[in-house]
Amino acid sequence: MDPSHPLRVTRRRFLALSIGAMTQAGCMAAARTGFIDAHSHVWTPDTKRFPLGPWITPDKMEPASFTAKQLLATAEPCGVDRAVLIQHAPYYGDDNSYLIHCAKEHPGRFSIVAIVDERRSDLGTHLRHLKQQGVRGIRIGPSRYADRTLVKEPLLWLKASAMRKLWAMAADEGLLLCPLLSAEHLPTLEPMLAEFPRTQVVIDHFGHAEKPDELSSLLKLAQHRQVHVKVSGFYKFGDRKAPYDDLTPMIKQVVDAFTPARLLWGSDCPYQLQNGNDYKSAVALIQSGLDFLDAPSRQAILRDNSQRLFFDEPLAATR
Ligand SMILES: [Zn+2]
């Protein structure tokens, strides 16, 4: 092409255009096409820089190290290039510093689900500050994760005024609430979902529902449009070993009730790597197992839904 042709794009100009386009798109993450792990924990042996809670000592960490780098090295060979990092209360309580550090160190790779003490007086300011640092969701449950204490009456955990305030604020701020529950507590979500329909919710690990009556408690929540479910933690269900085919009937029921548009795959690493379980098999169940899933459904569960909820700009955000 004639060097003076107006359409001639020099290498330098091309690079400038590309960088401009990427900056406009917000970040390099827009270009990522791999799967997204909606649930993994990370921790570091550097307990000087990232201290553990006073209830635990470094020798109790198992494994001793599972850093963001280790997670990426585990996930990438399986086609997973991003993850939602879930705050790990047994080690860090509500000190979310390490996850925030990881997100900064690996731009575009991680979204964060943090833990907050909903009773703090500056809750709104704190949530907004966390959001600025990459936090997109808050982990909640009948255990008080901030300091590892149990609420007095687990069946009433959502009745506390501080918890109600958190549900309202989460909707205003466009933050997802992510309940970690045992199946017996699933019905406690029901009145809150009805009362706070704008609050988006992502339930961890099938709500730990496995037995038929537990599963029906989970399926019942599908009537609330704001509920999503993590299809995750395969190592802890059924036979507890790959290829996890025995989970097919359970997952089929969850897909039928929620539709693939409201399900997110997650590994729950590093736990998915223990007792003979592995990362690849957990991806494979959704990628190529479960005959009843078509290709767009697999893509939705493995990537698109996590992209929308945890990586795209939040729709519900008001500030
Ligand atoms: Zn977990």
Position 149 scores a pLDDT of 75
Q: How far is the CA of 41 from the centre of ligand 1 (A)?
A: 6
Rounded to whole angstroms, how far apart are CA atoms 58 and 64?
A: 8
Q: Domain-by-domain residue ranges, the chain?
A: 36-311
Q: How many Å lie between the centroid of ligand 1 and the Cα of residue 269?
A: 7
Q: How far is the CA of 163 from the centre of ligand 1 (A)?
A: 21
Q: For residues 225 and 239, what is the distance between their CA atoms, to the nearest angstrom?
A: 31
Just give the CATH number of 36-311: 3.20.20.140
Distance 304 CA to ligand 1 centre (A): 21
79 pLDDT exceeds 70?
Answer: yes
More confident residue, 17 or 246: 246
| 314 has pLDDT over 80 | no
In sign, the C-alpha dihedral spanning 180, 183, 185, 189 is: positive
pLDDT digits (tens, 9 = 90+) for 270-280: 999 999 999 99
- What is the average pLDDT value for the chain, to the nearest integer? 90
Looking at residue 306, its pLDDT comes to: 98
Distance 88 CA to ligand 1 centre (A): 7
> What separation in Å is there between the alpha carbon of 250 and the centre of ligand 1?
20
pLDDT band at 145 (very low <50, low <70, confident <90, very high): confident
pTM for the model stands at: 0.89
Q: Is the pLDDT of residue 4 over 90?
A: no
Tell me which of 9 and 312 has the higher pLDDT: 312
pLDDT of residue 24: 41
Residue 129 C-alpha to ligand 1 middle, in angstroms?
A: 24
| Cα of 136 from ligand 1 centre, angstroms | 16
Mean pLDDT of 283-304: 98
Instruction: Measure 272 CA to ligand 1 centroid, in angstroms.
Output: 9
Tell me, in angstroms, the distance from the centre of ligand 1 to residue 86's CA.
7
Question: How many angstroms does the Cα of residue 256 sit away from the middle of ligand 1?
Answer: 24
- State in Å: Cα 24 to ligand 1 middle: 34
Q: What is the pLDDT of residue 6?
A: 40
